[in-house]
């Protein structure tokens, strides 16, 4: 028996989403399931197909 897969992130959301800190565009990292803000140096997680756009939930990029 296989585990159910998480819903896929809809890439069309990228057109509407911006970084909450810098208001700049985001890059989608499909492998890590994150939205990347290069301007803020943050990665916002995508959980169950839903982007979590809270700064407190983001991780700093290396």
pLDDT of residue 27: 95
Instruction: Kindly list the domain boundaries of the chain, sorted by start residue.
Output: 11-60
Give per-residue pLDDT as tens, 1-24.
Answer: 665 666 788 888 888 999 999 999
pTM equals 0.84
pLDDT of residue 35: 96
Query: What is the fold, at CATH topology level, of the domain defined by 11-60?
Result: N-terminal domain of TfIIb (2.20.25)
Per-residue three-class SS string for the chain = CCCCCCCCCCHHHHHCCCCCCCCCCCEEECCCCEEEECCCCEEEEEECCEECCCHHHCEECC
Give per-residue pLDDT as tens, 22-62.
Answer: 999 999 999 999 999 999 999 999 999 899 999 999 999 98
Interatomic CA distance for residues 20 and 53, integer angstroms: 7
């Amino acid at each position: 028996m296989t585990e159910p897969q998480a819903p896929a992130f809809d890439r069309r959301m990228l057109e509407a989403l911006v970084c909450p800190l810098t208001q700049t565009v985001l890059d989608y990292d499909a492998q890590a399931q994150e939205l990347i803000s290069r301007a803020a140096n943050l990665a916002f997680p995508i959980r169950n197909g839903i982007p979590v756009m809270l700064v407190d939930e983001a991780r700093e990029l290396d």
